[in-house]
Structure 1
Amino acid sequence: MSRAFTLCADDFAQSAAIGEAILDLLAARRLSATSVFSQAPQLAALPDVDAGLHFKLTHPLGDITRPLPYWLVASRLRRLPVKQLSDALFATLAEYRFPAGRPYLRAPDRLGHPGDSRAKAAILRAACSGFSRRVTDAGYPALMTQWLAAAPDGALLMCHPGGDDADDEIAGARRNEYRYLASARFAEDCERAGVTLRPFRSAI
């Protein structure tokens, strides 16, 4: 039985290299959707595709930008600037026109009890350990094959393709994702798994 899933590329407009890679894959119909930085100038180049908002607090695109350690410590100490955060979020929502007239909200899988932050942190570290290295070592096709086999009908799968970017610490992993998604092998893996890409708006 054939299954359909949405493949969404994260981080459009984070940099020119990432944006160009995503545009190439969208044009080749190797992606269903993308998430965007609404404050970035490159947003004007995005065609009429399914696009969700990437609300980012660590990339230098707004006044509220801070390093990730700041947000982690502030959240643990319950000292988040709630008014600043809500103002930034609503301003971003107001300036971005969403497909279907509403924002898409991605709910993460439940990795641990929400009240047990230490356990959740440990699980997240274990889940992410070595991911960038494995992808850079050309393990991404094997990982994608597993995900395609396990994905239920209507699944949403996030990916992070990109190009050469000296300021991006995971640029190597992004390049490997891009090369695989642009290749004939990805199309063959989808066919073999009995899955097809579909626009995100058809799933909501």
Structure 2
Amino acid sequence: MSRPFILCADDFGLTRGVNAAILELCARGRLSAVSALVAAPAWSEGAAALRAAGARIEIGLHLAFTEFPPLAGASTLAPSGAPRGQASLLAAALNRTLAPGDIAREIDRQIAAFAEAMGCLPDFVDGHQHVHQFPVIARAVVGALAALAPGRRPWLRVCADSFGAIRRRGQGLAAALSAAAAGRSLRRQAAARGIPVNDGISGFYDVRKAESYARIFPDFLRAMGPRHVVVCHPGHCAGASERSRRWMACREHEFAFLAGPGFAEACARADVRTATFAEIAGAQSSGSRSTR
């Protein structure tokens, strides 16, 4: 039987073009998860359509502490009310100048905004630019999820993975290794509080090579863990201005591959298929019971 993996599209809510691309992939049955930016400018107008697609996928909260103004207003996360950059936030986290209460309030606000729009809690939680793995922030994220009733807890996406698996894929090595190091700490904290996590993650690559995404993607399917996540960032660009930005232009290449026949062919060659975390966990649970 083919091996399942979670194909998760990040950044829903970023722009109308990103929303449209993700919704089209949902309609085509290509994705099994979507991660939503509730603080981003196109979230409100796209939320209803994403909610309608939710029967076929898992929808998660893409916690944002950079790039977008915080929902809770000015705090140690954003002293002037304007968002920090990733480097500034990491420095503040390492220097322990972020107040845990400020982080907790922002997490609560984003969870509440998600629930208001979607009518339920997120199926999973992760972080824009992986900032949910930063020191201090990671503890607050785990604390927020642990405070929920066990039957309502989202699973937590972590970037923990083995050096061997990352090396076998051969893509985005520096980014993958850095994220994996932070992810191991978050995974330990989650395990201590009984919060389920994925096992293995891929999708890191050099976006300067996005035109070769069709060749790159099969590498993501190597050395997959039993609850493996492949992260993608599909989108449509609105004109030359967005296409001039590398992190936007790469989204069109990702969308073209994922929407086309090459994606299905790559999955068939690797003998893998997309599935939700709940489907994978349920099958693993049934399998373990049957062997007792």
1:55 match: 63
- Shift in Å at residue 121 of structure 1? 8.4
- Shift in Å at residue 110 of structure 1? 5.0
Q: Which letter maps to 1:195?
A: V
CA distance, structure 1, for counterparts of residue 230 and residue 204 of structure 2: 19
Equivalent residue in structure 1 for 2:153, among 99, 102, 114: 102
For 1:56-75, list aligned pairs within 5 A: 56-62=64-70, 63=73, 64=78, 65-75=83-93
- Shift in Å at residue 37 of structure 1? 1.4
2:100 match: 82
Q: TM-score when scaled to structure 1?
A: 0.82
- 2:202 matched to 1:132? no
CA distance, structure 2, for counterparts of residue 61 and residue 23 of structure 1: 25
Cα RMSD for the two superposed structures: 2.8
Equivalent residue in structure 1 for 2:214, among 109, 128, 141: 141
- Shift in Å at residue 58 of structure 1? 1.2
Which stretch has the larger CA shift, 100-109 or 82-91?
A: 100-109
- Maintained 8 Å contact 1:3/1:196: yes
Segments of structure 2 that go 5 or more residues without pairing to the other structure are 124-150, 164-173, 180-202, 282-292
Q: Aligned in 2, Cα 1:110/1:130: closer, same or farther, shift over 3 Å?
A: closer
Q: Which letter maps to 1:22?
A: I
Which stretch has the larger CA shift, 179-188 or 140-149?
A: 140-149
- Shift in Å at residue 109 of structure 1? 1.4
For 1:15-30, list aligned pairs within 5 A: 15-30=15-30
- Maintained 8 Å contact 1:53/1:104: no
- Shift in Å at residue 103 of structure 1? 2.0
Q: Which letter maps to 1:177?
A: E
- 1:42-80, Cα deviation, whole Å (9 max, x unpaired): 222202231111001113253343222320221232211
What SS class does the counterpart of residue 237 from structure 2 fall into? coil
CA distance, structure 1, for counterparts of residue 27 and residue 105 of structure 2: 35
Q: Which letter maps to 1:159?
A: C
Equivalent residue in structure 2 for 1:156, among 229, 241, 244: 229
What SS class does the counterpart of residue 6 from structure 1 fall into? strand
2:47 match: 43
Which stretch has the larger CA shift, 166-175 or 14-23?
A: 166-175
Q: TM-score when scaled to structure 2?
A: 0.59
What SS class does the counterpart of residue 150 from structure 1 fall into? coil
2:261 match: 184
- Shift in Å at residue 24 of structure 1? 0.6
Q: Which letter maps to 1:196?
A: R
Which stretch has the larger CA shift, 17-26 or 35-44?
A: 35-44
CA distance, structure 2, for counterparts of residue 87 and residue 159 of structure 1: 29
Runs of 4+ deviating beyond 6 Å = none
- Shift in Å at residue 194 of structure 1? 0.7
1:6 match: 6
Segments of structure 1 that go 5 or more residues without pairing to the other structure are 113-119
- 2:34 matched to 1:34? yes
Aligned residues: 193
Which stretch has the larger CA shift, 4-13 or 68-77?
A: 68-77
Q: Aligned in 2, Cα 1:87/1:200: closer, same or farther, shift over 3 Å?
A: same
Paired-residue identity, %: 31
What SS class does the counterpart of residue 79 from structure 1 fall into? coil
Structure having greater relative contact order (Cα 8 Å, sep ≥ 6): 1
